Chain A
């Protein structure tokens, strides 16, 4: 931006995606929030806010299922454990959930693999369009990046969400999309290497079929662990403070240098 642009932007924001005309009305992405959007479900509003598009009932039911099926109220799951520690440390409800959600933007799970999984299916589809075979796409991906996000749990430990999700997708008729079928083809290919599809690949491919970009997908997923965190926070809060898996000094196992003087 030029200095002139910056000077102009000090006092004026043009082309905003929304505005609250207080005491009058609210507009989100060209629609009146209360007149035109007020009677639909919250999830539909969320994805409208993210994409500016409206989704049909089956698609929204699937998105709702994703949120429900990912709400694991288990304090051993890292972001949930943050909420539990927040509870045992007696911090506020909002700070607890914010902390848990913030750590969900992780490398080993959560938002980074989610985005990368969708990115793979979108790039794979483009390469297939250009004439590559699926085997070539997979082998190149593994050669370049060493991993295909969304595949990895050993076959004996199939992600428990996968069967429920596939069944529900079939009921909704959402199992015919291109990216999802690429995901299945990749699974069949990788099965020979002892790898199986996990829920991240299923979700990412179906949401790619609905036209989400990776950034839109991450925005949609950002709050997805929140319902599972709440019981973890409350459970820790109802116990004595500091009572969530306390650690004795001797269970802090030290492997550093020996004692020395400053």
Chain B
């Protein structure tokens, strides 16, 4: 730990204003002048990939990220992370709290970013080893050690409640494989049915995302960060929408909740003297 109070980075450099050392005159990301050069010339996915990988991406990689961002942008209001954000919106929480709720819930292992992490790490370990993948998917918790993350409860990348692969998943996989400069998405297209048969479950969007991140050359932790970011637009707009719709049009689950261990009504104290 440093006691010189310096921050270290190989990503970002700033040149200060002559008159104020706390205001940047120019900012550089991996050597590129962000506001003088990148801003007028780069697209958003190109800049994102520069920040994550340190290199200006190919047009194909930037296209893949842009299309992946569309595929992931809104999981829809039935999805847990979006529903969590909607719980923020409906109660009038500060807007940031709705996104924090979406990030926390969307970080999980049931369609969330940790499931994507497990898959990207496995891609990095196994690559296109089909038999290796089959062994992994049959026993995804092999070698599990105590952690804040529980053992995963289904084959990562597959929908534990699915019957057939969802059309949006198939459409995303097919299109992204066509535009991808890598081979993971294409491999997943070819072997999807075999892997689904092995797991007894249909492929899920988390597997498509993970293969795309593999094709972009990202690590598991980088994939977590991008996956969480890319899914926030849906959480944001549904939280805002729910606030406008109002609480009367949001599910009130109270009557549907039933106890198995209920002491029953024990009465209410007599406070009649307070004349409430």
Using a CB–CB cutoff of 8 Å, the interface residues on chain A facing chain B are 1, 3, 6, 11-16, 18-20, 22, 24-25, 27, 29-32, 35-36, 91-92, 94-95, 98, 102, 105, 111-112, 115-116, 119, 145, 214-215, 218, 245-262
Assuming the contacts A254-B12, A260-B32, asked whether A112 and B24 have C-beta atoms less than 8 A apart, the reply is no
Interface centre among B14, B147, B261 (most CB of A within 10 A): B261
Distance of A35 Cα from B163 Cα, bound (Å): 47
A67 to chain B, nearest CB (A): 20
Cβ-defined partner of B7 (8 Å) among A94, A218, A252, A260: A252
Residues of A within 8 A of B145 (CB): 116, 119, 145
Cβ-defined partner of A116 (8 Å) among B97, B146, B163, B267: B146
A251 touches B10 (CB 8 A): no
Q: Give the interface segment out of B37-45, B212-220, B234-242.
A: B37-45
23 A-B residue pairs with Cβ-Cβ distance under 8 Å, sorted by A, are A13-B256, A19-B259, A22-B254, A27-B262, A32-B266, A36-B263, A91-B96, A98-B97, A102-B100, A102-B104, A111-B148, A112-B147, A115-B146, A116-B147, A214-B146, A245-B5, A249-B23, A253-B8, A256-B30, A256-B31, A257-B54, A259-B28, A262-B33
A122 to chain B, nearest CB (A): 9
Closest 9 CB pairs of A and B: A30-B261, A119-B146, A249-B16, A256-B10, A254-B13, A248-B21, A15-B260, A249-B14, A260-B31
Assuming the contacts A36-B263, A254-B9, asked whether A262 and B38 have C-beta atoms less than 8 A apart, the reply is yes
A249 touches B22 (CB 8 A): yes
Say whether B276 faces chain A, with CB atoms less than 8 Å apart: no
Distance of A11 Cα from B253 Cα, bound (Å): 8
Distance of A106 Cα from B100 Cα, bound (Å): 18
Interface residues on B, range: 35 or more
B10 touches A254 (CB 8 A): yes
Residues of A within 8 A of B266 (CB): 25, 32, 35-36
Distance of A262 Cα from B14 Cα, bound (Å): 17
Cβ-defined partner of B259 (8 Å) among A6, A16, A119, A214: A16
Select from chain B the residue with minimum beta-carbon distance to A120.
B146
B258 touches A16 (CB 8 A): yes
B258 touches A13 (CB 8 A): yes
A262 touches B94 (CB 8 A): no
Distance of A27 Cα from B15 Cα, bound (Å): 60
Cβ-defined partner of A15 (8 Å) among B10, B38, B259, B263: B259
Assuming the contacts A32-B266, A250-B21, A262-B37, asked whether A255 and B8 have C-beta atoms less than 8 A apart, the reply is yes
Interface centre among B41, B146, B147 (most CB of A within 10 A): B146
Distance of A249 Cα from B21 Cα, bound (Å): 6
A256 touches B9 (CB 8 A): yes
Cβ-defined partner of A248 (8 Å) among B22, B33, B56, B94: B22
Residues of A within 8 A of B97 (CB): 94-95, 98
Residues of A within 8 A of B129 (CB): none
Cβ-defined partner of A30 (8 Å) among B24, B262, B267: B262
Say whether B271 faces chain A, with CB atoms less than 8 Å apart: no
Cβ-defined partner of A1 (8 Å) among B21, B32, B41, B161: B161
B108 to chain A, nearest CB (A): 13
B17 to chain A, nearest CB (A): 8
A95 touches B261 (CB 8 A): no
Distance of A260 Cα from B48 Cα, bound (Å): 17
Residues of B within 8 A of A22 (CB): 254
